[in-house]
Structure 1
Amino acid sequence: MPRPMITAMLLASTATMAAAHSESPIDQLSHFFESANVISGPEIVDCTLSEGAQTTCFSITVSTTVAPKNSTPGPWRPTNISDGPEAGGIWLQDGEVYDVDGAFISKLAEFYGDAEWQLFDPETGEIQYTGTLEACEAAARPDVDPAYQNHCVQCQIAYVADGSAITYVIPLDPVASERPTQTNQTGSGVAFNGVRLDGPAPVNAILGAYTIAPFDDCGGHVNTHVGYHYHAVTDCLDGAADADSGDGHGGQIGIAMDGYPILPHTDASGAAFTDLDSCNGHKDETGAYHYHAGAAGSNQILGCLSAQAGCVLEGHGNTCDASARPPRP
C-alpha cells in the first residue's frame, strides 16, 4: 500500500479508517513500519493507559542492536579541532542547531562564557571523548563520573547488549486525557523506521559536567538502554516520509505514545505552522487532530501528549499498564 493511504489512515486514527479500507489496522501498521527492524508485531493487545483507561492498543517490538534500515547513525564528534562539520554531528542550544565541528569544540569556553570548558588538548588539538562501553556508561548518565568531565560523550550501537529490544504499546484510538502528559515521562513516540522519538535531552545535566553529547545530523544518539534514539527531527525523517497527506501537511513521520500521528515541523512548502497548541498539535480541515514535530533546535519533538499515553517497555512483552508508571520529577 502506498504511504499516502497510511498517512491518511493514521491521521483519522487506525480503527476509523480500517472500516473504510479492505486492509486491517494491523496490515496498515505493518506497511507503515516496513522500514523498521521489527522483531515481533504489530499485534492487537489489551492495555491500560496513563490515566487508567482500559482500551485496545497495538504492540510492536523492534531491535535496538542494529542501525535503522534507512540511515547510518553518526558521526557524532570530530577527533581534532581542525576537523570540519562532516566529522561531527549537531548540538541544540536556545532553539538553534549548531554543527559540532572542531571549531565549535574549540570555542566552547566562549560559547558558554565559562573558562572551565576544555575538551581538547591545546598542544595537539585532539578531542577527548568516551571511546569505550565503560566510559559511555560512566558519562551518559545524570550524575556524570567526574573522570569524564570535559569530554564528548559518544556511545555506539555496538555497546547495546545483544538481543536488546523495545516494545511500544500504543492505543489504536486516542483516549481523552484530563491533563497533558510531559514527554520526559513517556517519550514522544516512535518513528516509521522504528527509532524512538524521545523526550527532551537532559541538557542541564550534560552541560553541568562540562560534557557535550552530540546528536548526529539526524538528531539521534545512543544510550545503552534504548539504543539509537532521536531528540530532534531533522530532514532525515522529513525527507524519508516524502508523501503528502493531501492537505499540505507533509508525510507522516511517526506515531505518538497517545496514538496521534506525528508530522514534520513544516508544511509541504516549508512554512512552519502558527496555530499549534502547547503539545505541538492542531486539527486539520477535517477536524482530525495530529502533531507536528518541534523545530530541530528546540530539544522538544512534542511539547506534551494531549491524550492518555501507552507504554514503552524495554525488552519483549506487551503487557502495558501505563497508570502504574511512577512519575518523573
Structure 2
Amino acid sequence: MKPWQTASVRYTSVTIPLALVLVLTNCMSNTPEPVSEPEHTHGWLDFFMPDALVKDVATVECTLSDGTATSCYEITVAGTPSNHGVGPFCPRTTTATEDEVGIWLDGDNLYDVTGQFILDLPSIYNDDHWMLHDGQGHVRVTDTKEAFEAAARPNVAEEYENYCVEGRMEWLEGGEPVTTTVQIPVTPVHQGTPTPARGPLGVTFNGIRIDAAAPVDAILGAHTIAAFDDCGGHVNPFEGYHMHAATGCSEVGDAPDGETPPFAVAMDGYLIHGVLESGDLDKAGDLDECNGHTTDGYGYHYHARSPELNGVLTCYMGTTINHAAGGPPGGGPPPGGEGFETPPPPHDHN
C-alpha cells in the first residue's frame, strides 16, 4: 500500500480536491493580514530521527534577507532517509504492478509508474511520440551511471529520450549520500507578506533536503519520466536523494483532530506539517498564500501541498538568511549547473 493511501482507498491518479481549490483560491484573492508572532519553542530540534544528522546542530551568527543580524541553527542532514529505503522508481516491464514501482507527479495528477502507466503515456499526454518500451514488454530505464547522467539534465542526450530516468545512491560521487548544510533562524521572523521559495525549501526530520518544484515541463518535453519513490524523493547527480512531494513518510508524533503532524522545518524556521485532507480544511480554517496558518498548539506553521501539485511549498511567510552575507545556502548544483533539478521560478499557486 502506498504511503498516501488508506485501507479503503487505492488509486493511480489524483485530482486536486475541490475543497482545497476553493480554500486556496480564497486565500490567494486576499492580502494576508500580519500575524502576531506566537511564542516560539525550539523543541523541534528533538524531532530529528536517529542518523538523520551527520553532526551536532550548531548555533551560528547569520544575517537575514532583511538585513537583521541574528542567530541561526546550522544543520547538516545525512542525505539518505533514516527511516526507510530509497526506491523503487521505474518499472522494468510493462506488466509491473504498483507494489514494484514508484510514482510520477506532473502538477495535476499523481500516478503509480506501473507497466500500464508506461503503455498509457501516449493517451495520458495526448502525444504518440511517447514510447518508453521496446514493444516486447521491456521498459527503457537508465540502468547505468553514464545513462543516468546523460538523461538527468535539461538537454537530454537524444539517445535517452523516451526513457524512464532513475538514479542510484551508489552512482553518486564516492558512492556516498550527498549531505546538505542549511542555516535556519533560531527565532522565525514573520513578514506578513509572502516571498517566493526556492530550493532547498527546508529539511525533513528523517534527514532529507526538500527541493522546489521539479521542472516537469522540461522532463516531459524530452519524453522522459523522472520517477519518484513512494516517499516523493528521487536521486540526481548534484543533490543526491531529495524530495519534491510529501506523502507521509517522515511525520513525527501525533496531531490533534483537524491537524497533521510536522515532518520538516522550512528555511525560515517554521515547521512544515503533513498535507491536510479535505475533511480537515474546515477545522483548520483558512490557509494563507503559503499554505500556512496559526494555531494555539503549534503557532504559525505550514502544511505541505498535495503531492500531485509538484512542490511542498511555493513561498515563505518568514525571513530566510541572506546567502550573500555568508553561510551555506543549503547546497545543490553550482550556478548554471546542468542538473534537472535546477529550480524553476516558483509557482504562484498552492
TM beyond 0.5 = yes
1:304 aligns with 2:301: no
C-alpha offsets along residues 123-181 of structure 1, whole Å, 9 cap, x if unaligned?
x2111111122222221122222221100010011122235421011111112448533
Offset of residue 287 of structure 1: 8.6
Aligned position for 2:179: 165
1:210 aligns with 2:223: yes
Select between 269-278 and 107-116 the one with higher mean Cα deviation: 269-278
1:237 aligns with 2:250: yes
Aligned position for 1:87: 100
Offset of residue 278 of structure 1: 1.5
The amino acid that maps onto 2:188 is P
Task: Tell me, in whole angstroms, the C-alpha distance in 2 between the residues paired with 1:274 and 1:131.
Answer: 47
Aligned position for 2:293: 282
User: Which residue, 309, 319, 324 being the options, matches 2:327?
Assistant: 319
Task: Tell me, in whole angstroms, the C-alpha distance in 2 between the residues paired with 1:102 and 1:328.
Answer: 29
Aligned position for 2:139: 127
Task: Tell me, in whole angstroms, the C-alpha distance in 1 between the residues paired with 2:37 and 2:102.
Answer: 35
What secondary structure, in the 3-state scheme, does the structure 2 residue paired with 1:46 have? strand
C-alpha offsets along residues 285-312 of structure 1, whole Å, 9 cap, x if unaligned?
4692110011111112112111222389
The amino acid that maps onto 2:230 is D
Normalization by structure 1: what TM-score?
Answer: 0.80
Normalization by structure 2: what TM-score?
Answer: 0.76
Cα RMSD (Å) of the superposition? 2.9
Aligned position for 1:20: none
User: Which residue, 56, 64, 68 being the options, matches 1:49?
Assistant: 64
Select between 289-298 and 128-137 the one with higher mean Cα deviation: 128-137
Offset of residue 282 of structure 1: 1.1
Does the C-alpha gap of structure 1 residues 218 and 146 become closer, same or farther in structure 2, counting only changes over 3 Å?
same
Cα contact 1:156–1:222 (8 A) shared by 2: yes
Cα contact 1:46–1:56 (8 A) shared by 2: yes
Select between 222-231 and 281-290 the one with higher mean Cα deviation: 281-290
User: Which residue, 211, 215, 233 being the options, matches 1:198?
Assistant: 211
C-alpha offsets along residues 41-72 of structure 1, whole Å, 9 cap, x if unaligned?
211011123343321100111233xx312001
Select between 205-214 and 29-38 the one with higher mean Cα deviation: 29-38
User: Which residue, 180, 202, 206 being the options, matches 2:194?
Assistant: 180
Select between 286-295 and 250-259 the one with higher mean Cα deviation: 286-295
Cα contact 2:254–2:260 (8 A) shared by 1: yes
Offset of residue 35 of structure 1: 3.0
Which stretches of structure 1, 4 residues or longer, exceed 4 Å deviation after superposition? 12-15, 325-329
What are the ranges of 5 or more consecutive residues in structure 1 without an aligned counterpart? 1-11, 18-24, 313-317
**Percent identity between the two aligned chains:** 40
Select between 86-95 and 143-152 the one with higher mean Cα deviation: 86-95
1:100 aligns with 2:113: yes
Cα contact 1:96–1:298 (8 A) shared by 2: yes
1:252 aligns with 2:262: yes
What are the ranges of 5 or more consecutive residues in structure 2 without an aligned counterpart? 1-35, 336-342, 346-350
What secondary structure, in the 3-state scheme, does the structure 1 residue paired with 2:230 have? coil
Cα contact 2:38–2:299 (8 A) shared by 1: no
What is the number of equivalent residue pairs in this alignment? 294
